[in-house]
Amino acid sequence: MNETVRIFLQDHEPIDFLFEQNRDDFIVDEIFAKPFKTKGNFLILHVKKVNMTTWEMIERIASFLNIPASSIGYAGLKDKYATTTQYLSLPLKYERSLNKLQDKQITILETFKDSKKISIGDLKSNRFTVTLRNVDDIKAGKIEKVARNIEKIGFPNYFGYQRFGQDSETQAQQMIEGEIFIQDKKLKKFLTSVYQSKKFNEWLKERVEISKADAINGFKLLKGDVMMSDDDKLFTPKSPSLTDFRDKKIVLTGLLVGREVFRARDEAREIEKKYDDELLQEKGLRRRAWVYPQDLTCKYRKKDSAMELSFVLPKASYATVFIENIANKNFN
């Protein structure tokens, strides 16, 4: 079960630059979906972490406070090899104890109060600041040109390479086919998500190939596609409006296989069903298949041969895929 090659609409020659995820060159700031209240029974932490996963940070804080990790709420997972900021919630009664926390990898930037615990998905988007190295004047011009074009037409919202560990895809396939039995619930859920992500990427790759074959300027919509409106409602229009799609009034969604999920129809379903698994017991979902970077800035630092890109992406999308799209090649 090899990782799906991610292909993109642009046909430009690959741009060669150095891209690494590390604490200096990959910075992520979580943008929350709503303002916090000034009172309530929950303490909201705005935290910065360096070179550790969100789960590692939560487990370390939970261990320090001697509480279950499930008592700490979070909106989304952030990359390990990076400097990231995000929001956590925990019961207000631990506020005083938390003041004694000292950790070289975790910094509490500020605190708030709110009446509700933070739940997965509460975030709105993420701001990324990514530094590309080994960039000269010519490459800098090419990078900005391609990035600006992607800002206008968007890019396919593949799951990035971070989603697929070295052995996780093989394990996921073996588990789904019944060759191995996974008892650990967390591992089983993770491997199921890897399987769903793999299917999604395979479907999206074919849809990009169809669009490229038709030589249209952008992504090709099909009759029966499941779209998402501004208020996140799913619907299947009789005839998908390419104008509304390009104007970002509607968003194409792809299938995360499973039960009780809105499936495509007609022509779109003919493609989708090749990557479906209606026997999977995990609950299915729809995922944004096309995203647009916003608030893009490009800063070329000639002195250290570096290009700094800053941009905002909606939740559940990968900055690394945007960078791959600019380079027109896959990273791993």
Would you name the residues annotated as active-site residues?
79
Rounded Cα gap, residues 41 and 61, in angstroms: 19
Instruction: Give the residue from 83, 159, 84, 148 showing the smallest Cα distance to 293.
Output: 148
Please enumerate in sequence order all residues whose Cβ is within 8 A of that of 14, keeping only pairs 6 or more positions apart, or say none.
327, 328, 329
Token readout for 280 is: 């999977």
Rounded Cα gap, residues 288 and 154, in angstroms: 12
Instruction: Give the residue from 269, 288, 271, 272 showing the smallest Cα distance to 228.
Output: 288
Rounded Cα gap, residues 117 and 212, in angstroms: 45
The H or E element containing residue 141 is helix 137-153
